[in-house]
């Protein structure tokens, strides 16, 4: 097994995740089997319980785990399906250690950071890599070099090179910021030098240094970094800001990133098969038709709160030759409807809690009455059904029990067989499961009668309201294969109005947009012409 460890320095949010994904894309294009992991420093046991305003969205894996959003980037750019174990937190590591202790596996030893925590980290990395069946496992270390919480992870990956069969089985890649001082007209190398110094102080000499920069690096700058950071000049890689995320693999290919990494790993390089990727990027650049899609959410302060939804919209738009502008609309904005009037389609994404619920229902009502193409997902589906119960059935107090547990007409609620577990993760349907598509236009959108979709929901539509809703035109379009839960709805006579409890955004890929997003965009474009 070969390992590539990616660390970051100077500042956070430099793009370690998309760098890891881009490298994975390039290695896969050369025929290598690639595994990817993300190790996060925080003590939360699971990213699914973190605020989207702080950490962005929580991505859901096929096997039913809520993980860091970087795994979504991994899946999209490398076109792989990852298991939940590919994301690990300090909280999870410590929980595993304590469980081992309670089982008596440490036989009375005093548990310490070294060797017990570092051994558990190494065990996790190796086990996940081996189960992936990969030739090369790319491991992103969260946070920044110098963080107190990062020390045990850096020590663990330092030890791994010593424990491998050969030093070339590990490659250390360090991503840093190279700031540009506009008034002086200079790129400054000192932050990178200091970051590498910090990394070397814990025993890790980076093999490759990637410099995030706003302007092109001169040869002198690369030479300077190489000299003072003890790497070859060819191993200093420029990472300039790009137009779209999907340009990045091609930028790194031009810079020779994959070639350099393979050389450090003592693996054979070859010409990559990037034709499909280049075609997608070309389509993205040539897309001209403007398309404005409203994303109605209460998480407007965080750009990555609905990252997968935004990317799924872009995939579909590019497929249709359109340039999508995603207009984030605050669900609590009193002028919400005015913003929606300037958009070609409306998407109500997932979420939780009562804040912003009335605004999302306002958006659903606007789309229902105006004929604007609409897609409600997860929490957005709950509120679309509640709005329909109000507007079509005259139940003015209809709501989701998640928003108003005491609602007289809780048209969405936790099923009785899961009420006792209402506040636990076990009450939630997580991961991939089957959906039976009924005889509605939605079946035509998919071109199939049964599909597999990823879920992350506790609340289900109350079947007692289905007949009344269907009589008024909100038709049940899909049910779960295992329990018959209502999964999807469409509105009769509407150009495109779909509400689904599952999350189609998680399986959309560049060049392979999800059918629901494709239909949404196609309908919006046809109406705009």
pLDDT 10s digits, 30-61: 999 999 999 999 888 877 777 787 778 899 99
Q: Output the furthest CA–CA distance in the chain (Å, rounded).
A: 75
Q: What is the pLDDT of residue 304?
A: 87
Confidence grade of residue 418 (pLDDT, cut at 50, 70, 90)? low
Whether residue 99 is predicted with pLDDT greater than 60 in this model: the reply is: yes
Residue with tokens 């994904």: 21
Pairwise CA distance, residues 238 & 256, whole Å: 10
Which of 279-288, 322-331, 416-425, 454-463 has the lowest average pLDDT? 416-425
450-495 pLDDT, tens digit each: 999 999 988 899 999 999 999 999 999 999 998 889 999 999 999 9
> Distance (Å, rounded) from C-alpha 117 to C-alpha 488?
45
- Asked if the peptide bond before residue 115 counts as cis, ω within 30 degrees of 0, the response is yes
Where, residue-wise, is CATH 3.40.50.300 in the chain? 2-278
Check if CATH label 3.90.550.10 holds for domain 288-528. Answer: no
In this predicted structure, what is the pLDDT of residue 107? Answer: 85
pLDDT at site 37: 97
pLDDT tier for residue 155 given thresholds of 50, 70 and 90:
very high
Enter the CATH code of domain 2-278: 3.40.50.300
Q: What rounded mean pLDDT belongs to the chain?
A: 92
Confidence of residue 419 (pLDDT cuts 50, 70, 90): low
| Structure confidence at residue 242 (pLDDT) | 84
For 288-294, what is the mean pLDDT?
95
Q: How confident is the model at residue 422 (pLDDT cuts 50, 70, 90)?
A: very low
List, in sequence order, every residue forming a beta bridge with 452; answer none if it has no partner.
Answer: 434
- Average the pLDDT over 319-342 and give the result: 94
The pTM (predicted TM-score) of the whole model is 0.93
d(CA 406, CA 60) in angstroms, rounded, equals 30
Rounded Cα distance between 266 and 97, Å, is 35
Does residue 219 carry a pLDDT above 90?
no
What mean pLDDT do residues 171-200 have? 91
pLDDT at residue 389 greater than cutoff 50: yes
Q: Phi and psi for 472 in degrees, rounded to 5?
A: -95, 5
Tokens standing for 393?
Answer: 């059935």
Residues of the chain with CATH 3.40.50.880: 288-528
What is the distance between the terminal CA atoms of the chain, rounded to a whole angstrom? 54
Which residues, 6 or more positions from 297, have their beta carbon under 8 angstroms from its beta carbon? 305, 306, 328, 329, 330, 331, 348, 349, 351, 356, 360
Question: Residue range 431-442: average pLDDT?
Answer: 95
For CA atoms 388, 389, 393, 395, the dihedral sign is negative
Model confidence at 170: pLDDT above 50? yes
From the number of C-beta atoms within 10 Å of its C-beta (0-12, 13-18, 19+), residue 109 rates as exposed
pLDDT of the residue at 424: 53
pLDDT at 529 over 70: no
More confident residue, 467 or 303: 467
What pLDDT was estimated at residue 11?
82
């Amino acid at each position: 097994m070969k390992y590539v460890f990616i660390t970051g320095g100077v500042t956070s949010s430099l793009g370690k995740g998309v760098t890891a994904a881009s490298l994975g894309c390039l290695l896969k294009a050369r025929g290598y089997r690639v595994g990817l992991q993300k190790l996060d420093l925080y003590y939360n046991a699971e990213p699914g319980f973190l605020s989207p305003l702080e950490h962005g969205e929580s991505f859901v894996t096929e096997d039913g785990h809520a993980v860091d959003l970087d795994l979504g980037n991994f899946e999209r750019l490398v076109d792989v399906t990852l298991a939940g174990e590919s994301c690990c937190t300090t909280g999870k590591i410590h929980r595993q250690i304590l469980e081992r202790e309670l089982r008596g596996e440490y036989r009375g030893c005093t548990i310490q950071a070294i060797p017990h925590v570092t051994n558990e980290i190494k065990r996790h990395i190796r086990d996940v890599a081996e189960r992936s069946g990969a030739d090369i496992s790319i491991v992103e270390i969260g946070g920044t070099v110098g963080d107190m919480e990062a020390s045990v992870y850096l020590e663990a990956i330092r030890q791994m090179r010593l424990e491998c069969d050969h030093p070339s089985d590990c490659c250390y890649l360090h991503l840093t910021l190279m700031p540009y001082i506009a008034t002086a007209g200079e790129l400054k190398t000192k932050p990178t030098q200091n970051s590498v110094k910090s990394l070397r102080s814990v025993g890790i000499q980076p093999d490759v240094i990637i410099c995030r920069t706003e302007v092109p690096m001169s040869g002198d700058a690369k030479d300077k970094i190489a000299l003072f950071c003890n790497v070859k000049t060819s191993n200093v890689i420029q990472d300039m800001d790009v137009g779209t995320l999907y340009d990045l693999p091609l930028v790194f290919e031009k810079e020779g990133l994959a070639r350099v990494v393979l050389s450090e790993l003592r693996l054979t390089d070859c010409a990559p098969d990037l034709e499909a990727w280049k075609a997608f990027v070309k389509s993205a650049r040539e897309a001209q038709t403007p398309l404005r899609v409203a994303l109605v959410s209460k998480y407007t302060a965080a750009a990555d709160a609905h990252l997968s939804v935004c990317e799924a919209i872009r995939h579909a738009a590019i497929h249709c030759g359109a340039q999508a502008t995603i207009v984030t609309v605050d669900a609590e904005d009193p002028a919400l409807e005015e913003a929606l009037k300037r958009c070609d389609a409306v998407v109500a994404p997932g979420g939780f809690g009562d804040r912003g619920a009335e605004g999302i229902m306002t958006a659903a009502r606007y789309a229902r009455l105006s004929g604007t193409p609409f897609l409600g997902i997860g929490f957005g589906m709950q509120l679309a059904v509640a709005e329909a119960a109000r507007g079509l059935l005259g139940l003015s107090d209809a709501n989701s029990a998640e928003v108003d547990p005491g609602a007289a007409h809780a048209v969405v609620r936790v099923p009785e067989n899961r009420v006792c577990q209402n506040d636990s993760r076990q009450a939630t349907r997580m991961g991939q499961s089957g959906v039976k598509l009924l005889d509605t236009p939605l079946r035509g959108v998919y071109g199939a009668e049964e599909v597999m979709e990823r879920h992350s929901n506790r609340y289900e539509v109350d079947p007692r309201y289905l007949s009344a809703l269907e009589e008024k035109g909100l038709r049940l379009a899909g049910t779960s294969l295992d329990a018959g839960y209502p999964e999807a709805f469409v509105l009769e006579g509407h150009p495109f109005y779909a509400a689904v409890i599952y999350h189609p955004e998680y399986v959309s890929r560049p060049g392979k947009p999800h059918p629901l997003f494709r239909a949404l965009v196609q309908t919006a474009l046809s109406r705009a012409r």
